Chains A and B, each alone.
Chain A
Amino acid sequence: MLKKEISDVLRHNFFFILLILLLPAFLVVARILPNQSYFSVFFPIFQFLLFFWAFFMGISLFSVERGQRGMEYLLSLPYSRYKLLGMKILPRFITILIFYVIFLILYLGEGSNYAAFALLSFSVIYFSIFLISLSLSTCSDNFLVLFVISLFSLFIYLALAYFIFWAAIKAKGFIYYTLRISRFFTGEIDTILVMLIPIIGLLLLLPLMVASGLAIKKFDLRPSRVYNKRYLKYFVPLFLAGVIISFLLAYQGVDFGYSYYYLTQDLKLIEHNHYFGFKIYDGKDVHKIKIQDYDFDPFAEEDNYVYAESYDSILKINMSDYEAEILYHPPKGRHFTWPRKVGKTIAFMENKRGYSDRQLVLFDIPTQKVSRIPLDIESLKGYSSLSLFGADKSKGKEFWFMFAWSQTKGRGVFRLWEDGKPEYIKDTQVFPLYIRPYLITYSENEIVISKEKEGQFETTRKVPNSKGYIFLGMGYWPWFWTEDLGDVTIKEIFGHKYRSKEEREKGPLYARLDLETFEIEELSDTKKWLYCFGPNEYYFEDKDYDAGTFAIYRFQEGRSELIRSFRISFKKTFYPYGIFEGGIVLERGKKVKVYAFPDLREIKFKKL
């Protein structure tokens, strides 16, 4: 019997192979598709016909016997239905596999970067067609009816699979994720969906296959409706179960991915996820802001507003009425970096792709007026990097400090006036700092302190710095804008220097620069990373990956005092927490906890 089946399948395959080889040849030779190579015509035809062949292999299970009026003879043979089915399916399945392997070899040989996603989709459809048509092959004696039913079932199956994903995404609260069909072929879908596709595809196919397997045990010569009734008796409950389980799996599996948290100075928690926008927890409630953006990097807070940089826009979030607006969006083809707020102005560098047409952009918040100062001018030519690091006024005119870097011209400080004229100030070996009234630059082994006198920055002091400490601000990170300090006088700043490669994990060495005596004092009682949130607000963070702990210390008058330590897992990410001016946000698995400075007491947020 198996020999007969193999012979039947081989005979069918012979004609199929002839068709796929000769049809492209005909199209090329007859110049129906002129100027095409044989393979370029052959491959898409082959790919398309494979779907048809998978379908045919499935529904042709009993076609030979039906065509030869041999069904009664076949069913009277001394085999159980399962054995009969097995002998029929085996050669057909092997055929499908062999053609699939041939397709893989030809397809992957093309070397397309998107092969993986289109291939996954093709594979799902290819094997689904086979399994669906196989499962339905006994539902009718009429080949045409089988063809229509199978095609219809395939359509329902694919639509249902798509709908389940769509429903799970919607039920989960995704707002900004669209499930376009093209995503399945172009690789735009997320990894988790890619993994779920074959699982859910199989779950939806299983009812068909299991119902067939159960119903075929009593497959006989009675009218198809008898078999179909038995088939449906098994299929309907299995199908419903399959749909429910698939939905639950999709719902569980579809993940928002990573959310970014930000704790404001007044202890409100902002959660950003590019699938649902923003959620703001005020302790009692959660407020949703539906605004889509792919990134969220706050850079300023003032008067109940949070200003943040996104992937391609600047956002302003109103923390009173929980509204958000896009303040600025660069023109098409332009890209900006590192916006900073100074008073009512947001300043940032912007350029075209390829780092051309550089400009200093000044966005006036109240009027939303945009001013642009071109930077591709003669005096700035040749500097491949221009970075803002300070702003101030002199004689009533605004200016902006820029650190300019060039491989040929070296590194230096420019002052860019509000009228667009750049003024070269001095060289610096390392990224400089401006803390009114001092401009801090670096020479070979010295820190150069300059001060403006009659419109010029003159060196007032050179501080020996043989160990090479770098003072980037009032702490290791971030540096800040002078004007935001108001009338506060900064008396000290902290610098760091990296240890040797072997000791790098201990964290940097720290030193203090007194801005009255200009003496550098190396610090001993330090921990790994220094944070500064304002004058006299210094904290050290000390983490131990192996032990799964991190601790926060207050740093005052040269001493580190432990505030609190936490146990945390670093397995999934090295940054399971964020340190903000208001406190710390800690992520433990699916849970988020918030601890507020100064004592890091836990604060609860409802609905978090």
Chain B
Amino acid sequence: MSQNIVDVENLSLKIGKKKVLNNIHLQLRKGEAVVIAGRNGSGKTTFLKCLANVIFPDKGTITYSEKVSKEKIGFISDQVSLLENYSLKQGIDFHKDVYQIKDFDDSLLRELKLDLNQKIKNLSAGERILFHLSLIMAQKPEILLVDEIIHAIDPYIREQFLEAVIDLLEGDQVTLVMINHTFSEIEKIPERVLIMEKGQFIVDEKSEALGEKLKKVISETEISEEAPCIFKRELSHFREYYIYPYSEELKGKFPYDYKDVNLNEIIKAFIGGQYAQKRNQ
């Protein structure tokens, strides 16, 4: 049984008057692949930055396993923050020096045919992401924190990136925490899904279990209001109802035609439901 690699207790953070993180409790195990989803402004990125030590919480603690040193935490975000005036070579040397890296695998860079003497600021967004990923991979991280970078890169680089991530995940070498909005290409990666709303995790389920607990009902007529519908979508001739939590007992009570949904749709349902709730407030 894997031990906890990160323990988050009572994490809270405010920016101005807004409570961005609200008393979060979370444990992450070694080798676990977690995806965090939620609508914009729910606190996902802030939470990830807290894990990366870029932002400090106002309250609460983040405790890493004793075996995890700071050099073993890799953080990459869509803002792709690097020292832009450095050349690639200078950036690599700097990163190697800080993280005490002996060997640097530049295969990803060679794949893209990048000139090591060019400045980082002259790279495209996708190239920068892969360059940053190369740096982080060289650290041999035990915790990898990825913040919404998939949408920023082209399909080819995306594939390269995902293959690299999958390689890392094999053999429980790394704990992955990823923030994403689209899940069609990464459906097989996360084993655990966290959905964040107003600074709290409203859903924390294994991917498979979540698939069992959320079903869709397509109906031309309204379904019972008593059915636990988290999100409803009205299309031209019919309606889609997303039911959560689904169970066999519920089916007995509300005998509709329940359909399985993929992770992408599950996330959309939750996020859509949050928006609907906000509209109704």
Chain B hits for A223, CB < 8 A: 15-16
B49 x A221 contact (CB < 8 A): yes
A232 CB to closest chain B CB, in angstroms? 15
Closest to B139 in A: A78
B70 x A78 contact (CB < 8 A): yes
A218 CB to closest chain B CB, in angstroms? 4
Task: Please provide the chain A residues from 220 to 274 with a CB less than 8 Å away from any CB of chain B in the complex.
Answer: 220-223, 225-226
A64 CB to closest chain B CB, in angstroms? 8
B200 within 8 A of A: no
B98 within 8 A of A: yes
Q: In the bound complex, what is the Cα–Cα distance between A488 and B103 (angstroms)?
A: 112
B94 x A4 contact (CB < 8 A): yes
B54 CB to closest chain A CB, in angstroms? 5
B54 x A72 contact (CB < 8 A): yes
A69 within 8 A of B: yes
B246 within 8 A of A: no
B83 x A68 contact (CB < 8 A): yes
The segment out of B28-36, B71-79, B153-161 that lies at the interface is B71-79
Q: In the bound complex, what is the Cα–Cα distance between A581 and B69 (angstroms)?
A: 86
A3 within 8 A of B: yes
Tell me which of B56, B77, B86 contacts A72 (CB under 8 A).
B77
Tell me which of B15, B54, B69 contacts A75 (CB under 8 A).
B54
Tell me which of A70, A220, A225, A226 contacts B83 (CB under 8 A).
A70
A78 x B73 contact (CB < 8 A): yes
Chain A hits for B94, CB < 8 A: 1, 4
Given A68-B85, A70-B83, A70-B84, A77 contacting B98 (CB threshold 8 A) = yes
A3 x B97 contact (CB < 8 A): yes
A65 x B83 contact (CB < 8 A): yes
A517 within 8 A of B: no
Q: In the bound complex, what is the Cα–Cα distance between A65 and B82 (angstroms)?
A: 8
A71 within 8 A of B: yes
B55 x A78 contact (CB < 8 A): no
Instruction: Bin chain A's interface residue count.
Output: 20 to 34
Tell me which of B16, B55, B73 contacts A220 (CB under 8 A).
B55
A76 x B54 contact (CB < 8 A): yes
Chain A hits for B85, CB < 8 A: 67-68
Given A3-B97, A222-B15, A226-B15, A75 contacting B83 (CB threshold 8 A) = no
B221 within 8 A of A: no
Q: In the bound complex, what is the Cα–Cα distance between A122 and B52 (angstroms)?
A: 44
A221 x B84 contact (CB < 8 A): no
A70 x B82 contact (CB < 8 A): yes
A222 x B55 contact (CB < 8 A): yes
Task: Please provide the chain A residues from 1 to 41 with a CB less than 8 Å away from any CB of chain B in the complex.
Answer: 1, 3-4
Q: In the bound complex, what is the Cα–Cα distance between A64 and B73 (angstroms)?
A: 24
Q: In the bound complex, what is the Cα–Cα distance between A76 and B71 (angstroms)?
A: 10
Q: In the bound complex, what is the Cα–Cα distance between A79 and B53 (angstroms)?
A: 10
Chain A hits for B55, CB < 8 A: 220-222
Q: In the bound complex, what is the Cα–Cα distance between A74 and B86 (angstroms)?
A: 14
B81 within 8 A of A: yes
Closest to A72 in B: B81
Q: In the bound complex, what is the Cα–Cα distance between A70 and B85 (angstroms)?
A: 10
B97 x A1 contact (CB < 8 A): yes
Chain B hits for A68, CB < 8 A: 82-86, 121
Of B52, B55, B73, B77, most buried by chain A (CB within 10 Å of CB) is B55
Q: In the bound complex, what is the Cα–Cα distance between A198 and B94 (angstroms)?
A: 40
Closest to A78 in B: B70
Task: Please provide the chain A residues from 298 to 334 with a CB less than 8 Å away from any CB of chain B in the complex.
Answer: none
Chain A hits for B81, CB < 8 A: 69-74
A566 CB to closest chain B CB, in angstroms? 68
Given A1-B97, A222-B15, A76 contacting B53 (CB threshold 8 A) = yes
B15 x A73 contact (CB < 8 A): no
Chain A hits for B84, CB < 8 A: 68-70
B87 CB to closest chain A CB, in angstroms? 12
B258 within 8 A of A: no
Given A70-B84, A220-B55, A78 contacting B98 (CB threshold 8 A) = yes
Task: Please provide the chain A residues from 49 to 83 with a CB less than 8 Å away from any CB of chain B in the complex.
Answer: 64-65, 67-79
B99 within 8 A of A: yes
Q: In the bound complex, what is the Cα–Cα distance between A73 and B121 (angstroms)?
A: 14
A248 CB to closest chain B CB, in angstroms? 36
Q: In the bound complex, what is the Cα–Cα distance between A218 and B86 (angstroms)?
A: 27
A143 CB to closest chain B CB, in angstroms? 16
Task: Please provide the chain A residues from 493 to 521 with a CB less than 8 Å away from any CB of chain B in the complex.
Answer: none
B142 CB to closest chain A CB, in angstroms? 12
Chain A hits for B56, CB < 8 A: 218, 220
A220 x B98 contact (CB < 8 A): no
Of A71, A73, A223, most buried by chain B (CB within 10 Å of CB) is A73
B79 x A72 contact (CB < 8 A): yes
Q: In the bound complex, what is the Cα–Cα distance between A223 and B70 (angstroms)?
A: 24
Q: In the bound complex, what is the Cα–Cα distance between A226 and B20 (angstroms)?
A: 13
A225 x B73 contact (CB < 8 A): no
Task: Please provide the chain B residues from 182 to 216 with a CB less than 8 Å away from any CB of chain A in the complex.
Answer: none
B97 x A225 contact (CB < 8 A): no
Q: In the bound complex, what is the Cα–Cα distance between A71 and B54 (angstroms)?
A: 9
Q: In the bound complex, what is the Cα–Cα distance between A342 and B31 (angstroms)?
A: 110
Proximity string of chain B (161-183) to chain A, C-beta cutoff 8 Å, 1 when within and 0 when not: 00000000000000000000000
B98 CB to closest chain A CB, in angstroms? 6
Q: In the bound complex, what is the Cα–Cα distance between A226 and B86 (angstroms)?
A: 30
Proximity string of chain B (14-29) to chain A, C-beta cutoff 8 Å, 1 when within and 0 when not: 0110000000000000
Given A221-B49, A223-B15, A73 contacting B82 (CB threshold 8 A) = yes
B54 x A220 contact (CB < 8 A): yes
B128 CB to closest chain A CB, in angstroms? 11
Closest to B136 in A: A76
A76 x B15 contact (CB < 8 A): no
B97 x A221 contact (CB < 8 A): no
Chain B hits for A79, CB < 8 A: 70
Closest to A223 in B: B15
Chain A hits for B75, CB < 8 A: 76
Q: In the bound complex, what is the Cα–Cα distance between A39 and B184 (angstroms)?
A: 72
Tell me which of B54, B69, B86, B121 contacts A78 (CB under 8 A).
B69
Tell me which of B52, B69, B86 contacts A76 (CB under 8 A).
B52
Q: In the bound complex, what is the Cα–Cα distance between A121 and B254 (angstroms)?
A: 86
Proximity string of chain A (351-371) to chain B, C-beta cutoff 8 Å, 1 when within and 0 when not: 000000000000000000000
Q: In the bound complex, what is the Cα–Cα distance between A79 and B97 (angstroms)?
A: 13
A78 x B99 contact (CB < 8 A): yes
Given A70-B82, A72-B77, A73-B83, A221 contacting B71 (CB threshold 8 A) = no
A1 x B98 contact (CB < 8 A): yes
Chain A hits for B49, CB < 8 A: 72, 220-221
Q: In the bound complex, what is the Cα–Cα distance between A78 and B121 (angstroms)?
A: 23
Closest to A67 in B: B85
Q: In the bound complex, what is the Cα–Cα distance between A76 and B56 (angstroms)?
A: 11
B37 CB to closest chain A CB, in angstroms? 22
Beyond the given pairs A1-B94, A69-B79, 10 more chain A to chain B contacts, judged by CB atoms under 8 angstroms and listed by A's residue number, are A68-B82, A69-B82, A70-B84, A71-B81, A72-B79, A73-B82, A75-B54, A78-B70, A222-B15, A223-B16
Query: Which 9 residue pairs of A and B lie closest in terms of their CB atoms, listed nearest first?
Result: A78-B70, A72-B81, A218-B56, A73-B81, A68-B84, A220-B55, A70-B83, A75-B54, A76-B75
A-B CB contact pairs (8 Å), 27 listed = A1-B94, A1-B98, A4-B94, A64-B83, A65-B83, A68-B82, A68-B84, A68-B85, A69-B79, A69-B81, A69-B84, A70-B81, A70-B82, A71-B81, A72-B49, A72-B79, A72-B81, A75-B53, A76-B54, A76-B75, A77-B98, A78-B69, A78-B99, A218-B56, A220-B56, A221-B54, A226-B15
A residues contacting B by CB (< 8 A) are: 1, 3-4, 64-65, 67-79, 218, 220-223, 225-226
